[in-house]
C-alpha cells in the first residue's frame, strides 16, 4: 500500500496512479482514456482509487491507468472479459457490441441537460440498464456523468448545412453515425486517443465532444472553432466482469460497492463545475466558441432529430417517453 506515492505521482502529473499492491490484496485495475485531474471521469477514478487504497488497505488495491495508457475503449471490454482489467468506465456509446439499450443516450436532443440524464438513469428503466449485459459477462455498477456535446470542424459551423460534405470523427455508435449522416456529412469511427492527430493532419475535418474532452485533448487547437449546440450527451457506465465481481468475498464486494456509490454521488454532483471550468479553459487558451441563438439552434434540432425514427424500434417509444419526462 503506497497511497503517498500514488498521490505524489499524481501531483507530479504522472500518467498513472499506480499503487503498489501488497501480497494478498485483491488487485483492481481501472483503465480509462481521459486525463486524471481536469476531467469528470479522471477525477472520479482517481478519487475512487485513493479511497479504496486507504479504506481497503490489506484487502484490495486499485491501480488506475488513464489516458489510454493500458487500453483504448475498443479494447477494454474484451480485456475485461479476459480478466486483464477489472474496471473501466467507457462512454455509453461504446457498448454497441454488447447491448442496444444505451442507444437512447446517443439520440440527439433527447436530454435537455445532465440533470435530466441523471433523473432517467435513476429511474427503474435506467437502473435496469446496468444489468443489460450480464449475459455477455459485463455488469454495470454505476453511471458517471460528463456533459453535453458540442460540435467543431476546420471551418465555421453555424448552420447544419455548414457541416455537409465534411468528415467527422465519431464514437462507434450507430446512432451517432446516423446523426452525422443526417447532416450530409460522413462519420469516421476512431479511438479517442487518435482524434487529435486525425484532426491535425486532416484525416477528419471535425468532431463532437464535451468541453472537458475538447479541452483535455486540445481539439480546439486544431479546429476553426467549436459550436455550442448542446446537441447530445456523453455519459459513462462503470463496468466490471460479472464473474470477477461475484467471486469477491462478500465484505470486499459490499465495501467496494459502497465506496463506488459514494464517489459516484459526490462526483456526479460536481460535473457542472468541471464542465464549465473546461469551457472557460478553452476560451482562456484562445479557442473560439460559437454560441447559437434560438433560431440557429432550432436548425440543428430540425436537421438531427429525425434520426430518432430510425431507432425507435431499438430503444422503445415507452423509454423515449420516460426519458423525455425528465426534461420538464
Alpha helices in 232-305 (DSSP H): 242-247, 250-269, 271-284, 294-304
61, 62, 233, 234: which one binds ligand LMR (CB under 6 A): 234
Min. distance of Cβ 231 from ligand LMR in angstroms?
14
The residues in 165-184 that bind ligand LMR, with binding defined as CB under 6 A, are 171
60 or 104: CB nearest ligand LMR: 104
Task: Determine if 33 is a binding residue for ligand LMR (CB under 6 A).
Answer: yes
Q: Which residue in this structure is represented by grid cell 417509444?
A: 317
43 or 234: CB nearest ligand LMR: 234
Distance CA 133, CA 6 (A): 33
With beta carbons less than 8 A apart as the criterion, state whether 25 and 19 touch.
Answer: no
Determine the Cα angle at 225 with ends 223 and 226, to 5°: 105
Q: How many helices (H) and strands (E) does the chain have?
A: 15, 9
86 or 209: CB nearest ligand LMR: 209
Task: Determine if 34 is a binding residue for ligand LMR (CB under 6 A).
Answer: yes
Where would I find the beta strands (DSSP E) of 92-205? 138-153, 167-170, 186-189
For ligand LMR, the nearest residue by Cβ is: 91
The residues in 77-116 that bind ligand LMR, with binding defined as CB under 6 A, are 91
Task: Determine if 213 is a binding residue for ligand LMR (CB under 6 A).
Answer: yes
Q: How far is residue 317 from each of residues 26, 32, 104, 313, 320, measured CA to CA in Å?
A: 43, 33, 10, 8, 5
Task: Determine if 268 is a binding residue for ligand LMR (CB under 6 A).
Answer: no
117 or 234: CB nearest ligand LMR: 234
35, 36, 67, 209: which one binds ligand LMR (CB under 6 A): 209
Q: Where do contacts with ligand LMR occur on this chain (CB under 6 A)?
A: 33-34, 41, 91, 146, 171, 192, 209, 213, 234
Amino acid at each position: 500500500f503506497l497511497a503517498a506515492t500514488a498521490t505524489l505521482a499524481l501531483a507530479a502529473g504522472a500518467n498513472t496512479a499506480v499503487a503498489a499492491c501488497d501480497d494478498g490484496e485483491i488487485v483492481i485495475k481501472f483503465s480509462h482514456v481521459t486525463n486524471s485531474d481536469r476531467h469528470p471521469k479522471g477525477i472520479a477514478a482517481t478519487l475512487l482509487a485513493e479511497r479504496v487504497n486507504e479504506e481497503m488497505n490489506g484487502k484490495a488495491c486499485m491501480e488506475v491507468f488513464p489516458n489510454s495508457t493500458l487500453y483504448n475503449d475498443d479494447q477494454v471490454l474484451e480485456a475485461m472479459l479476459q480478466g486483464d482489467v477489472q474496471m473501466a468506465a467507457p462512454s455509453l456509446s461504446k457498448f454497441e457490441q454488447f447491448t442496444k439499450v444505451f442507444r437512447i443516450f446517443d439520440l440527439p436532443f433527447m436530454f435537455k441537460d445532465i440533470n435530466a440524464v441523471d433523473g432517467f438513469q435513476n429511474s427503474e428503466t435506467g437502473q435496469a440498464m446496468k444489468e443489460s449485459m450480464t449475459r455477455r459477462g459485463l455488469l454495470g455498477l454505476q453511471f458517471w456523468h460528463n456533459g453535453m456535446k458540442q460540435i467543431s470542424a476546420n471551418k465555421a459551423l453555424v448552420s447544419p448545412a455548414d457541416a455537409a460534405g465534411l468528415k467527422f470523427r465519431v464514437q462507434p455508435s450507430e446512432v451517432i453515425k446516423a446523426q452525422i449522416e443526417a447532416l450530409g456529412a460522413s462519420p469516421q469511427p476512431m479511438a479517442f486517443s487518435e482524434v487529435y492527430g486525425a484532426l491535425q493532419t486532416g484525416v477528419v475535418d471535425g468532431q463532437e465532444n464535451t468541453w472537458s474532452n475538447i479541452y483535455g485533448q486540445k481539439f480546439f487547437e486544431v479546429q476553426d472553432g467549436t459550436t455550442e449546440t448542446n446537441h447530445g450527451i456523453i455519459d459513462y457506465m462503470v463496468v466490471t466482469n460479472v464473474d470477477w465481481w461475484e467471486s469477491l468475498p462478500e465484505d470486499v464486494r459490499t465495501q467496494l460497492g459502497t465506496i463506488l456509490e459514494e464517489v459516484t454521488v459526490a462526483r456526479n454532483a460536481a460535473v457542472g463545475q468541471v464542465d464549465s471550468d473546461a469551457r472557460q479553459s478553452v476560451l482562456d487558451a484562445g479557442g473560439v466558441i460559437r454560441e447559437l441563438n434560438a433560431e440557429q439552434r432550432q436548425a440543428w434540432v430540425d436537421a438531427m432529430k429525425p434520426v430518432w425514427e430510425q431507432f425507435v424500434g431499438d430503444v422503445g417509444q415507452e423509454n423515449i417517453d420516460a426519458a423525455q419526462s425528465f426534461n420538464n
